[in-house]
Amino acid sequence: MMSETTMTILGTSGAGKTCYLLSMYHKMCIGMNGFTITTDDDTDVDLRHRYDQMKDRSLGNRRFPAGTDGRSQYEFTLECGYKPIMSFSWDDYPGGYLDVKGTGDMDSYKQIEQSILNSSCLFICIDGTLLQGDDIDEKISAIRDDCSIYINPFFSKYRKEHGALPPTAFVITKWDICAPDNSSDDLIKIISEAFSPFFEAGKTGKTMAAIIPVSIDLYSNSTEPGKRMRPYDIELPIFMGIFFALQNKINNDKQNKTSLQNQISNERSTFRSFLFGDSDSVKQMNTDVRAIQNKLNINQQNLKKIFSQLEANVPLFFINGKQGKFSDIFEKRDAND
């Protein structure tokens, strides 16, 4: 079955995309605030096995997976209270794919381009090792050279196709090694300058972005056998992705409900309906409307739960380049329900 939405993660080689996926899956299998994700049995076994290897400190640096050498696509289902909410595909590309246009591999380039165009949310992985030290200008230059030079052209293409940029999470990986060198103000300055076109006030559509530092293990330098990994905010980027995907799903269901209600109204206005009452098709449409409304009620409650996590734990959120809050978009949407 085709997933209901796509989320794409981008980043250069070594940025930590695969490690993030393994850690995110592990944490979301355990469950966060009632939410879990599931996948097929083969993928589940594979991801669990690779995570078990990653947490084996006796392996040293060999415990971390090698860089992705080809596209990896995973199909997940988000659940709340073990009830399915939404299916989504997770597209992970090797860092080299970002520059394949220059090598003539246009098929790979078009593949990643199409994935971005289909995504309800993008995740840009930024290697935390680029944020070490005290020189902010050097950090900006490093990210520009290592990441934004490859990713900005995709943003440009997306805006031309859609009239607006997708909701985007700038995920700072390996936060455990660079946190002492960066304040929140530092992160805002670094990311907003490295991706300056993204943070310009949008004139052709609203732009929404978040800067989210994460770590697969706050004790990553420890070699103590048996010491458990301690992830940091791993779940927040995926919550952000689900938040916007679920918003889209709610809006689509509202449109379908309105369309059915208009069809019911039109059919009831006919002379035949006046004489004989509701037809079987009208009765079926009424049943469908009630089913959609039940889904809307559930999804709106789920959206509120996800919103509460993001509002409390993601302070670096930007709308049209200006710092704001998730409530700035959520409460406006909620008022229109």
CA distance 317 to 135: 24
In order of their start, the domains of the chain are 5-245 (3.40.50.300), 249-313+326-335 (no CATH)
Q: Is the CA virtual torsion 170, 205, 244, 185 positive or negative?
A: positive
- Tell me if 238 sits within 8 A of 28, measured CB to CB: yes
pLDDT for the residue numbered 23: 94
Dist CA 9 CA 71 (whole Å): 11
Task: List all residues 6 or more positions away from 113 whose beta carbon is below 8 Å from its beta carbon.
Answer: 154, 157
pLDDT at residue number 179: 95
Report pLDDT for 315: 95
pLDDT value at residue 287: 95
pLDDT at residue number 185: 96
Q: What does the pLDDT profile of the chain (337 residues) look like in tens digits?
A: 568 888 988 888 788 888 999 999 999 999 988 899 999 999 999 999 999 998 888 888 888 877 666 678 899 999 998 999 899 999 887 666 666 555 556 676 677 777 777 888 999 999 999 999 999 999 999 999 988 888 887 788 778 877 778 899 999 999 999 999 999 999 999 999 999 888 876 555 678 999 999 999 988 888 787 788 899 999 999 999 999 999 999 999 999 999 999 998 888 887 566 666 778 888 899 999 999 999 999 999 999 999 999 999 999 999 988 899 999 887 655 555 5
Query: Which pLDDT belongs to residue 154?
Result: 76
Determine the Cα–Cα distance for residues 70 and 93; give it in Å rounded to an integer: 6
Q: Which of 221, 207, 193 is nearest to 122 (CA)?
A: 207
Convert 286-314 to b/e letters by CB count within 10 Å (16 or more is b).
eeebeebeebbeebeebbeebbebbbeeb
Contact 9, 17 (CB under 8 A): yes
